[in-house]
């Protein structure tokens, strides 16, 4: 069994999105009434593209190009503000990419002020931003603090120089150490550090070396990501895309997870480990994350508005991404939806189960029954099979949650819940992009 089929960070995947006509955001903004929803801004710029990255981001864009991108945001936000419900107050604001801190301090200041001016953020809004070691300096770190940032996430991936070189990262262990020390000393509510396992030649000893150095910095969270190599990424072009050993990767996961739990971190998903301290990290509390909505600013982020999920067309090449950014810059009407998916009742149920089941404390059978009018295990009998296999367990408060073994199989379990319709659309996208015979790690033969 291949444990590593697909990371189900959202559902449906963007490869299931299609062109849409006669769909307007205004008809779905009612899903953002009140508080508790999220605002997301995508800054699709990086100094360089990491060897494994297939995200919507482009390297080599200069300051003037990024300024021109920022120029568009007030116009987009003005149009969105006109159709937002009057009661909308965003409880969280996330800035992702890309590497948002590639922007210089003046650009970051401009971005924060524009969003504060044009979007309704809660007074004590959780503000989250991503960074990389080479882009993290004291001036920017202090600016983030001044603008109320509560969580900073930085991708280190490894403290082993040979592993960083293999991954195509452009920082070294010394730079990562310095940046992490700066962030953990700034007094943010939450600092997260990301690491990758599953590299060819990586050992439990080398992984634990990186994690020991990470723990010594006392971050509030540590994320452990298995390595996925998708078609088109630099690792593939460099001839490093051999199918990775699922069993070996699984053993590395077990070593890393066991160590972090020994060091006082609670595991709340396959990837996320949170320091035991009554965490105040954004997202640390229980959430019905299948119900909340999100509005995306910029180009490349996804909006989740009830049945409507929308995003720019899924692109993985630099040329395609720059084309989407150019269309974004020239766009006049940001409220007309041109690409996305309208979820059926079945897909809404599947999304809720996938999103809730893969995190602790799991999925509430009572909440599912109240919201969908059906029993969870009758709607998804495969859950009973997973209970018999020891991957799921029922807790005393009527939650179904993954066992320790089930948690380690999250990237196998999640994809089993993909509907046949979404699976078909994903396969159509694979075929249309010349990837029908894609058996690289992370791509299930069924997908």
Domains and CATH numbers, the chain: 14-275 (3.20.20.70), 344-447 (1.10.10.920)
pLDDT band at 290 (very low <50, low <70, confident <90, very high): low
Higher-confidence position of 76 and 276: 76
Structure tokens at 130: 């991503």
pLDDT band at 195 (very low <50, low <70, confident <90, very high): very high
H or E element, residue 406: helix 404-408
Predicted TM-score (pTM) of this structure: 0.93
Question: What values do phi and psi take at 347, rounded to 5?
Answer: -70, -35
Over range 192-196, report the average pLDDT.
98
**Buried residues in 361-379 as b, exposed as e (16+ CB within 10 A):** ebbbbebbeeeeeeebbeb
Q: Tell me, what's the pLDDT at 288?
A: 55
For residue 446, pLDDT over 70 is answered with: no
Contacts of 341 (CB under 8 A, 6+ apart): 12, 16, 17, 18, 308, 309, 310
Q: How would you class 219 by CB atoms within 10 Å of its CB: exposed for 0-12, middle for 13-18, buried for 19 or more?
A: buried
What percent of the chain lies above the pLDDT cut of 90?
81
Q: What is the pLDDT of residues 120-136, one digit of tens each?
A: 999 999 999 999 999 99
Least confident of 25-39, 42-56, 215-229, 301-315: 42-56
Q: What is the pLDDT of residues 218-262, one digit of tens each?
A: 999 999 999 988 767 777 766 666 656 889 999 999 999 999 999
Q: Tell me, what's the pLDDT at 241?
A: 64
CA–CA separation, 442 and 447 (whole Å): 10
Least confident of 229-243, 280-294, 369-383, 414-428: 280-294
Q: Tell me, what's the pLDDT at 340?
A: 98
Q: Which residue is associated with the tokens 């020991």? A: 212
Q: What is the pLDDT of residues 355-408, one digit of tens each?
A: 999 999 999 999 999 999 999 999 999 999 999 999 999 998 789 999 999 999
Least confident of 113-127, 132-146, 284-298, 413-427: 284-298
CA proximity to 300, closest of 288, 314, 287, 286:
314
DSSP-assigned letters across all residues of 424-438: HHHHHHHHHTT-TT-
């Amino acid at each position: 069994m291949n444990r590593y089929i697909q990371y189900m960070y959202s559902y449906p995947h963007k490869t299931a999105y299609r062109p849409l006509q006669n769909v307007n955001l205004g008809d779905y903004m009612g899903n953002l009434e009140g508080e508790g929803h999220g605002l997301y801004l995508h800054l699709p710029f990086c100094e360089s593209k990491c060897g494994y990255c297939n995200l919507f981001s482009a390297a080599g864009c200069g300051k003037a190009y990024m300024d021109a991108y920022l120029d568009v945001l007030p116009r987009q936000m003005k149009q969105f503000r006109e159709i937002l419900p009057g009661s909308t107050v965003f409880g969280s604001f996330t800035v992702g990419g890309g590497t948002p801190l590639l922007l210089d301090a003046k650009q970051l200041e401009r971005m924060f002020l524009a969003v504060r001016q044009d979007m309704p953020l809660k007074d004590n809004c959780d503000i989250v931003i991503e960074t990389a070691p080479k882009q993290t300096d004291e001036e920017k770190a202090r600016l983030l603090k001044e603008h109320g940032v509560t969580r900073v996430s930085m991708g280190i991936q490894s403290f082993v120089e040979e592993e960083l070189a293999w991954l195509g990262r452009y920082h070294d262990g010394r730079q990562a150490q310095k940046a992490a020390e700066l962030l953990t000393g700034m007094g943010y509510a939450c600092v997260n550090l990301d690491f990758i396992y599953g590299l060819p030649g990586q050992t439990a000893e080398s992984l634990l070396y990186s994690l020991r150095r990470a723990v010594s910095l006392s971050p509030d969270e540590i994320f452990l990501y298995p390595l996925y190599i998708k078609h088109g990424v630099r690792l593939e072009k460099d001839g490093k895309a051999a199918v990775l050993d699922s069993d070996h990767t699984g053993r590395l996961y077990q070593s890393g997870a066991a160590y972090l739990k020994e060091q006082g971190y609670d595991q709340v998903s396959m990837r996320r480990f949170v320091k035991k301290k009554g965490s105040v990290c954004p997202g640390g509390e229980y959430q019905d994350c299948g119900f909340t909505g999100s509005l995306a600013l910029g180009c490349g982020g996804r909006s989740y508005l009830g049945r409507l999920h929308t995003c720019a067309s899924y692109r993985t090449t630099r040329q395609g991404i720059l084309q989407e950014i150019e269309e974004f810059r020239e766009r006049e009407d940001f409220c007309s939806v041109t690409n996305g998916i309208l979820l059926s009742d079945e897909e809404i149920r599947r999304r809720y189960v996938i999103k809730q089941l893969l995190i602790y404390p799991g999925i509430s059978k009572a909440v599912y029954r109240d919201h969908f009018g059906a029993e969870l295990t009758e709607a998804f009998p495969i859950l009973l099979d997973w209970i018999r296999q020891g991957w799921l367990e029922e807790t005393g408060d009527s939650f179904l949650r993954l066992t320790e073994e089930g948690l380690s199989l999250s990237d196998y379990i999640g994809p089993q819940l993909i509907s046949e319709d979404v699976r078909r659309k994903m396969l159509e996208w694979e075929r249309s992009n010349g990837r029908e015979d894609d058996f690289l790690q992370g791509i299930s033969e069924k997908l």
